[in-house]
Amino acid sequence: MARLFDPTPEHAALRDMVRRFADEQVRPQAAAHDRAERFNLDLFRQLGDLGLLGVTVAERFGGAELDAVAACIVHEELSAADPGFALAYLAHAILFANNLDKNGDDAQRARILPLACEGKLVGGMAMSEPDAGTDVLGMSTTARREGDEYVLDGAKMWITNGAISDGEVGDVFLVYARMAGAARNELSMFIVEKGMPGFGLGQKIHDKLGMRASPTAELVFDGCRVPEANRVGSEGSAALHMMRNLELERLTLGAMSLGIARRSIEVMNAYARDRKSFGQSLNHFGQVQRHLAESYAEYMAGRSYVYATASEIDIDVPGHRLDSDGVKLYCSTMAKNVADRAIQVLGGYGYVGEYEVERLWRDAKLLEIGGGTLEAHQKNMTRDLSRLDKLR
């Protein structure tokens, strides 16, 4: 079984390194940054020192050039310590760096990716809008050509890493927009950088249910002028870029769910073993045994699905949507349910922050919404299944 989760010695070494970093550096700061709704930028930059900020980026542009299994390992281990911090990592490493590495030209990648891989730039991806979430192709942000520049107008909402502090916008974003007269499925993508005229922070989103250590913001484009050299790919070609990158995003969000579930089981198991009631440890009672056993079985089922899918994905090629949606559909709800059971086993202690599981439960809920809602995955998967007569 270990070979599925760590198929090579290199994968096993990566997991050991990230788990050690997560236990020693990430977990101790998680509760405080959740309470403060603050992004730990210094800790984030340490991931650059470890070579993780460009986990799938080509080595010649400063990355580690690892595969989908490695990306899942990093996300699982970071999420077991602090899902909010892991989400900020995902937005940078997958939604921004991987996306630019796979779709940008050499000049764009050489200028930006080494800085992103070092942590000198914090990146994100701007797709959702105030009135366009699941219906992403219904976005209204526009781009028009003026000489050797593009002018962007519109707003993007729920952007992870959109604000690295209350008043400071993130450094660089891949922004999707539609050219005037373009068809619904013809989107264009642009590199938008802090300081460009007409680009600014609309608002930093506060008072979220969970993922509070991950900064979320609204970005505003008011006549934002972007050089032609910052267009990624040809005009109207970005929908394919987006869909290919979303497959890896959903897989790594599934891996984040594994981290939440695993930590919840660890806390629940230790408490049930050590806490006594009516003269016996809690794990002697059938109700608690059910919570523990079902949680472990569901976690292992999800873990097997995530890593089996990751082992088959070529991150340079699209076409994995059925299972990338499937792992997120299953694992996101599984993680929420496992965290919920952990709260139930801990009783009143589970309802307060000291024992972690209330934060894990709050964080888990976002994974049923962000990166594609459960309903969107159900629709996508049903559409893909309708094309199949037999399953593999």
> Per-residue pLDDT tens for 37-79?
999 999 999 999 999 999 999 999 999 999 999 999 999 999 9
Weakest mean pLDDT among 80-84, 103-107, 314-318, 354-358: 314-318
pLDDT at 163 over 90: yes
Q: Output the DSSP codes for 241-301.
A: HHHHHHHHHHHHHHHHHHHHHHHHHHHHHHHHHH-EETTEEGGGSHHHHHHHHHHHHHHHH
| Fold category of 2-122 in CATH | Butyryl-Coa Dehydrogenase, subunit A; domain 1 (1.10.540)
pLDDT class for 133, splitting at 50, 70, 90? confident
DSSP 3-state of 56: coil
pLDDT class for 318, splitting at 50, 70, 90? confident
For the chain, give the mean pLDDT. 96
381 touches 322 (CB < 8 A): yes
Q: What is the DSSP letter of 177?
A: E
Class in CATH terms, 124-236: mainly beta
Distance CA 294, CA 279 (A): 25
Distance CA 337, CA 173 (A): 34
Start-end of H helices in 313-367:
321-346, 357-366
Cα 334-209-259 angle, rounded to 5 deg: 35
CATH code for residues 239-385 = 1.20.140.10
Mean pLDDT value of segment 218-230: 98
pLDDT class for 180, splitting at 50, 70, 90? confident
- Which segments of 92-227 are extended strands (E)? 123-126, 142-146, 149-160, 163-165, 168-169, 172-179, 188-193, 199-204, 216-227
Residues near 363 by beta carbon (within 8 Å), at least 6 away in sequence: 83, 84, 210, 211, 260
pLDDT at 255 over 90: yes
pLDDT class for 1, splitting at 50, 70, 90? low
The percent of residues above 90 in pLDDT, for the chain, comes to 92
Per-domain residue ranges of the chain: 2-122, 124-236, 239-385
> Per-residue pLDDT tens for 45-54?
999 999 999 9
Give the number of C-alpha atoms closer than 13 A to the C-alpha of residue 206, restricted to the C-beta side: 7
Q: Catalytic residue, from 37, 249, 356, 358: name it.
A: 249
Radius of gyration, CA atoms only, the chain: 21
> Per-residue pLDDT tens for 274-303?
999 999 999 999 999 999 999 999 999 999
Verify whether residue 247 is a known catalytic residue: no
